[in-house]
Amino acid sequence: MKLFAFLFGCRKISVPSDRGADLLNICMKYRYPYYEMGAYEDRTYIVCSPVIARRVCIKCGEMDIEAESGRLCGVPKYIGRFFSRPGLVLGLLIAVIMLVQVQDYVWDIRVSGYEGVDENEVIDGLYACGFYRGCSLDGFCADDVENLFLRRSENIGWISVNMKGTVAYVEVQKKNSPPKKDTLLPANVVAKRDGIILEALTYSGLRMVEKGEIVREGQLLISGAYGEKTPGLHVTRAAGRVSARTFRKISVEIPLEYEEKVESGRVFYEKYMIFFGNTIKVFSNSGNLGSSCDKIVEGKLYGFLGSSLPIGERVEKYVEYETVKRTRSREAAEALAKEELERQLSELCVEEIVSRSDAVDFRDGKCVVECDLTCIEDIAMTLEFTVNYEK
């Protein structure tokens, strides 16, 4: 098929072989151009434009020539097929509108120069300022966004938002905070728990306890105020390290009867489409949702060539469960209790565990593991105070 015929469409007109000459004479007489001609079996045909084909058919009818018109070929055929599908036409229309409209929205935010600053933190900060993937650029002012961001951010010292097309290029620099100065408020050092003093090291202030002394929680260990009231009281921020032997008791209880969630097998979904920052519900079968459900939310933005698009999906999954009462064996309960005890011990902030004794007991339907510990730890705790000056 010739290119011209393909682009503008063509139709095949065939007549019996013995009338082929008449067909050609019609073409010559009325100056009907055709793209191609040929013969097959017992018929002669020409290929011409749809308009010419219609005219040729009329002339053939006038001359008693049995002419058959073939199907439309070429681009008009595809256009005809396309327009016969309203969904495709609508889709194309929406795509064109989107192509025009999406230029007014932010498609992607790319953060750079954020050494030491989390990219997500920057994007979240911008979101709080009303600048996010999918937001409208109508009335957008980079200065306003930057100033608002800097006012709210604690870590970012400088930010620049540059729009290139629909992509926002954000450059940030971390705030170089001056070193934190020690507070000048006077303070005492007190005991944070009961214990027997093993060693007291004073950095500043006046030591109030001796080695071997028993102290109670809250007792003054190092005083920040010392001296006589006359001629003047010395006030300082007491500091030091007071190592003491302490006694702790940790108790872990594991019930023998417990409630367990058992999935009923019913799962409900709510699907949303994220479209330029808007969330649109597209599907839901959670109308008869029960009260006992675990909710699992998954969301993602689609990507294209390594960039995130402001289009994505969010799925909320509701897994229905029933609460079933179960009983665990004593051995299982004890093992669980010991496991929990070890976990708590690993989180203890002590210098050393000197001794430990465990006791397992079953009472009130529970497995109780009690652990008595003797530890060595720093019990110093700074407690600030204020000084009232007498006029």
Partner 1 sequence: MTKKRSEGGFAARISAKYDLQPDMMLDGCHLELRGRSSLAVGGCRGIVEYSPIEITLRLRDSILKIAGEHLSCDSYTCGEVLISGRINILGFDDTKR
**Sole residue written with tokens 């009923």:** 264
Assess contact for 1 and 73: CB atoms under 8 A: yes
Backbone angles phi, psi at 318, to 5 degrees: -110, 115
6, 16, 37, 313: residue in contact with partner 1 (rule CB under 8 A):
37
Rounded to a whole number of angstroms, the minimum distance from the CB of residue 274 to partner 1 is: 60
* Residues written for the chain: 391
Find out whether 249 and 370 touch, Cβ atoms under 8 Å: yes
Position of tokens 């681009």?
A: 75
Give CA separation, 311 vs 7, 115, 278, 280, 365, in Å: 36, 28, 9, 11, 54
Closest distance to partner 1 from the beta carbon of 46 (Å): 9
**What is the size of the binding site for partner 1 (CB under 8 A)?**
15
Q: Write down the least CB distance from residue 30 to partner 1, Å.
A: 10
**Does 3 engage in binding with partner 1 (CB under 8 A)?**
no
Binding mask 45-64 for partner 1 (x = CB under 8 A): --------------------
Structure tokens at 380: 């110093």
Is 31 an interacting residue with respect to partner 1 (CB under 8 A)? yes
Of 373, 339, 387, residue with least CA distance to 188: 387
Residue 39 sits in the site that holds partner 1 (CB under 8 A): yes
Answer for which of 3, 28, 99, 305 binds partner 1 (CB under 8 A) is: 28
CA distance 262 to 322: 5
Give which of 325, 326, 272, 324 is closest to 300, Cα–Cα.
Answer: 272
Q: Which is nearer to partner 1, 39 or 233 (CB)?
A: 39
226 Cβ neighbours under 8 A, 6+ residues apart: 205, 206, 233, 234
Q: Which stretch binds partner 1 (CB under 8 A): 22-30, 175-183, 220-228, 363-371?
A: 22-30
Whether the CB-CB separation of 208 and 347 falls below 8 Å is answered with no
Helix or strand holding residue 144 (H, E): helix 142-152
Task: List the one residue from 5, 34, 153, 187 that touches partner 1 (CB under 8 A).
Answer: 34
Tokens encoding 373: 């510990």
Q: Pick between residue 40 and residue 389 the one whose CB is nearest to partner 1.
A: 40
Asked whether position 10 contacts partner 1 by CB under 8 A, the answer is no
Site membership for partner 1, residue 33 (CB under 8 A): yes
Of 26-34, 80-88, 218-226, 298-306: span binding partner 1 (CB under 8 A): 26-34
Q: Which stretch binds partner 1 (CB under 8 A): 28-36, 121-129, 284-292, 294-302?
A: 28-36
41 binds partner 1 (CB under 8 A): no
20 binds partner 1 (CB under 8 A): yes
Spatial separation of the C-alpha atoms in residues 319 and 321, rounded to whole Å: 6
Q: Which of 2, 7, 25, 297 binds partner 1 (CB under 8 A)?
A: 25
Strand partners, 10: 73
At closest approach, how far in Å is the CB of 45 from partner 1?
Answer: 10
What are the tokens at 93?
A: 């229309």
| 254 touching partner 1, by CB under 8 A | no
By beta-carbon proximity to partner 1, the closer residue of 25 and 285 is 25
Shortest approach of partner 1 to residue 101 CB, angstroms?
50
Provide the minimum distance between the beta carbon of 81 and partner 1 in the complex, in angstroms, as a whole number: 30
Q: Does 27 contact partner 1 by CB under 8 A?
A: yes
Query: Which amino acid is present at 38?
Result: G
Single out the residue of 1, 2, 4, 17 in contact with partner 1 (rule: CB under 8 A). 17
Contact segment (CB under 8 A) with partner 1 among 17-25, 102-110, 121-129, 322-330 equals 17-25
Q: In degrees rounded to 5, what are phi and psi of residue 98? A: -65, -45
Per the CB < 8 A criterion, the answer to whether 196 and 245 are in contact is: yes
Least separation in angstroms between CB 21 and partner 1:
4
Does 75 sit near partner 1 (CB under 8 A)? no
Q: Which is nearer to partner 1, 32 or 107 (CB)?
A: 32
Q: How far apart are CA 143 and CA 232, in angstroms?
A: 56
- Report helix, strand and coil shares of the chain as percent, to nearest 5: 25, 45, 30
Provide the binding-site residues for partner 1, judged by CB under 8 A: 17, 20-21, 24-25, 27-28, 31, 33-34, 36-39, 44
